[in-house]
A and B are shown apart, each in its own frame.
Chain A
Amino acid sequence: MSSLAQYVEEAIRRISAGDVQGSHAAGVYNKAANQFEKEFAAYVSVVARIPNAGNLTLGQLIHRLETMPNPHPSQLAAVVANAKAVNDPWKRLKHRDDPPMEELLGGLRAIVRALPLPQKAGTT
């Protein structure tokens, strides 16, 4: 299991137990999403052949995948769906909202579902 997956599993446990709440949970979410964005960029740089993927936001990376010709659309759709589920609460935080704990937990569970990211488009 990767260090990100371990961190997120532990974050889900801590938030579910009430050990981490409120803005602390938002901070934990930001930390996890930042790291997920880096790993997702590395994945997209390979499957979509984008050299500067590390400069793109998670939303931009998702868009690149959605608009990419792909021989395995259903498998890529799962990757995209999980990435969107990670990005949605993160966008709310970046737009100064206070998303509820359930929403943050949903995004963290999406990171767990998404990892490990496939090595190339169409693989699982």
Chain B
Amino acid sequence: MVRALLFVCSGNTCRSPMAAAAAAARLGSSVTVRSAGIECDEGLPAAGFAVQVMQERGIDLSKHESTDVADLSLQEFDLVVALDPSVGRQLARFGLKRLEEWDIEDPYGGTVETYRATANAIERALSTLLSAIQ
């Protein structure tokens, strides 16, 4: 049973906040959902296009602030999702309860269409994940 779910990408400004917000919207309050970056420090907001494309889906990402994975107690999460294999390799050393690895391309520097494609890829991967854990 998954009660706490963490999404991790590299900078915690695009992919993982989008994934966490999409997951939270589907799961409601039954599951704690967080996101973090593998190397980012605190305080950066989500990228503008990330906020825009999630807003198009009715999800508010405007209040997001980045969190470094080092600042979290990773053992508290039943499942950690790495947004790409490189992040997954870096997370493997933490001895997590369960690590899932996706392959979502970093949209940083792309157009709003790039970010929409990222959101679509996240939605597809999330549907597969949720059907497996719910």
Contacts and interface: CB of A to CB of B under 8 A. Distances in A.
Does B associate with A?
yes
A94 B65 CA distance: 10
A98 interface: yes
Interface residues of A, number: 18
A28 B39 contact: yes
Q: Give the secondary structure class of B's interface.
A: loop
Nearest to A14: B39
A100 B109 contact: yes
A96 B106 contact: no
Given A27-B10, A27-B66, A22 B106 contact: yes
A27 B37 contact: yes
Interface of A: 21-28, 30-31, 34, 93-98, 100
A19 B45 CA distance: 24
Contacts of B46: 96
Contact of B108 (A23, A28, A34, A94): A23
Interface residues of B, number: 27
By CB atoms of chain B within 10 A, which of A21, A27, A31, A100 has the most? A27
Interface of B: 9-15, 37-49, 51, 66, 68, 106, 108-110
B106 A24 contact: yes
B45 A96 contact: yes
B41 A31 contact: yes
A30 B40 contact: yes
A28 B44 CA distance: 11
Given A24-B11, A27-B12, 15 more contacts: A22-B108, A23-B11, A23-B108, A24-B10, A26-B11, A26-B13, A26-B108, A27-B11, A27-B38, A30-B44, A30-B66, A31-B40, A31-B41, A94-B44, A98-B108
